[in-house]
Chains A and B, each alone.
Chain A
Amino acid sequence: MGEREEQRGGGAPSGPGPMAGPAAPTAAKKVVRKWEKLPGRNTFCCDGRIMMARQKGIFYLTLFLILGTCALFFAFECRYLAVQLSPAIPVFAAVLFLFAMATLLRTSFSDPGVIPRALPDEAAFIEMEIEATNGTVPQGQRPPPRIKNFQINNQIVKLKYCYTCKIFRPPRASHCSICDNCVERFDHHCPWVGNCVGKRNYRYFYLFILSLSLLTIYIFTFDIVYVALKSLKIGFLNTLKETPGTYPSHSVLICFFTLWSVVGLTGFHTFLVALNQTTNEDIKGSWTGKNRVQNPYSHGNMVKNCCEVLCGPLPPSVLDRRGILHQEENAAQEETCSRGPSAQGPTAAQGPGGQAEESSTQQDGSLPHPSAVSDPFCTG
């Protein structure tokens, strides 16, 4: 029984063990794991356990700002306030800080819900189906756009064909031009966390910005309390002179600006969660306007929507990053990569709002399209 499980493998939770049978000298060769051959522009660390986007500079800045501000807060204000007011102050701040860091790292390091690209057999099968539906196109004429219509909850939803991944994208999925992957329930690509935000890590992202808002408000409040208390004792100017540099004012300034952006973002995402919408849909205006369909995914009840988005079942990653790559799979992957994104297919007439993604993938994915699907609220 156990032997059978090992051989069939589970997929995401634990990759298939080395296949007993074929006499591959795995002891001598270095084991190649699937993450090393995955297409797309992601960085993998810790032998495939960590998955991020390629550009990580802004993520390091986020870490620096959070760690730096909190370190200074704990080092200076907390010592004074714990004695003067209550020791619970640093304890609560520590809890908030740890929660924010845990959710940030979870958001940044996990698979957002990437849909693996179609293997050659599957891609060929879909192409055949498309040609069968469209019929032969006379030479010189543009073939019709590759769109499938589905009815969900009495609304017609169009599925678009992704030329890079060679699949019909599931509803709510979108192709991120920065990471060059199709992501399920794509929200946006956030440079501050250095990863896409999609189905699998949206709740971590939301909890991160929520806990960061609370942490920022907390530190901001107690910075002011600290300055006020000390000023009462020794005067305002002396307070500024005493603490290293003009530290409290720096901290207050950072908190002030962070407050408005992060709290605003949290408010926006709370609105999206309550309506069960994604940032991508909101920007494209998929569900607004008289002539558009209503959101078929909303339960109509805000509480139910929140529960589903934040506490619903979490699907495991289908990428199987740590699985061991066998030789025939390696050959199939290389064949998919060598073909590259298909050059055929029109750039126009892809359906409303889809043009940004399609045209950027048509550029062979060589240049990241900065304006496509980046979160406009994530400034920088």
Chain B
Amino acid sequence: MRGDLPSSPPGCIPPAHLTATPQVHSLQELRRSASLATKVFVQRDYSDGTTCQFQTKFPPELESRIERQLFEETVKTLNGFYAEAEKIGGSSYLEGCLACATAYFIFLCMETHYEKVLKKISKYIQEQNEKVYAPRGLLLTDPLERGMRVIEISIYEDRCSSGSSSSGSSSSSSSGGGGR
């Protein structure tokens, strides 16, 4: 699995547009060739009501694979996106009233604000997978594909564990600094 990733000096994250195709291949190959060790499920956090928020509690299974701070940042950003999608304010009321006035026929041609944010979330998760999670042998699944119940994190087995852990730690320490 390590050999499939484009060779780059540790600590250097190549720009996305240059490595677009090879990174996608590596994600696909990650799913196909690497063996799935286990899955971790990050549950919903209902302390704020029924809004879609996920728990930022760090799962113990990820202890050796990824830094706590990176994981928490991902979850907090996702929570921020969902809060934006479900925000009740002037623009959402306007959309609702306009839709009602047209007997909801407007939804046949217009995308709702929620759907737009979900597309942003999907892009963000893909970007996170490429930059942060795939190099560590992890894969995030979009909660939308799991009914908004959980964030599923697939943990793949390291083939060459010693080599990957050292390269993983060095790239993660530098990506922690620069990979925002």
Contacts and interface: CB of A to CB of B under 8 A. Distances in A.
Interface in A1-57: 1, 4-5, 7-13, 21
Interface stretch (B43-51, B159-167, B169-177): B43-51
Contact of B24 (A4, A103, A297, A307): A4
Interface string B110-149: 0111110011001100100000000000000010111111
Given A8-B126, A150-B47, A311 B93 contact: yes
A89 interface: no
B103 A313 contact: no
Contact of B85 (A118, A125, A126, A313): A313
A115 interface: yes
A226 to B, nearest CB: 28
Contacts of A150: 46-47
Interface in B85-113: 85-88, 92-93, 95-97, 99-100, 103-105, 111-113
A315 B86 contact: yes
Interface residues of B, number: 46
B105 A312 contact: no
B114 to A, nearest CB: 5
B41 interface: yes
A11 B144 contact: yes
B158 interface: no
Contacts of B78: none
A7 B46 CA distance: 32
Nearest to B114: A313
B93 A307 contact: yes
Contacts of B43: 168
B152 interface: yes
Given A7-B24, A103-B104, A312 B50 contact: no
B50 A316 contact: no
Given A118-B149, A122-B146, A315 B114 contact: yes
A229 interface: no
Nearest to B28: A21
B107 to A, nearest CB: 8
B17 to A, nearest CB: 9
Contacts of A13: 111, 115, 118-119
Contacts of A73: none
A313 B113 contact: yes
B104 A204 contact: yes
Q: Considering residues A152, A159, A308, A311, which has the most beta carbons from chain B within 10 angstroms of its beta carbon?
A: A311
B148 A8 contact: no
Interface of B: 20, 24, 28, 39-41, 43-44, 46-50, 85-88, 92-93, 95-97, 99-100, 103-105, 111-115, 118-119, 122-123, 126, 142, 144-150, 152
7 contacts: A13-B115, A122-B39, A152-B46, A152-B47, A170-B50, A307-B88, A313-B92
- Rank and list the top 10 A-B pairs by shortest CB-CB distance, nearest first: A311-B96, A11-B144, A116-B147, A102-B103, A150-B46, A318-B147, A311-B93, A313-B92, A125-B41, A121-B39
Interface of A: 1, 4-5, 7-13, 21, 98-99, 102-103, 106, 115-116, 118-119, 121-122, 125-126, 150-153, 157, 159, 167-168, 170-172, 184-185, 203-204, 207, 296-297, 307-308, 310-316, 318-320
Given A13-B111, A103-B104, A307-B93, 13 more contacts: A4-B20, A11-B144, A12-B118, A13-B118, A102-B105, A152-B47, A168-B43, A170-B44, A170-B50, A184-B50, A313-B85, A313-B87, A314-B99
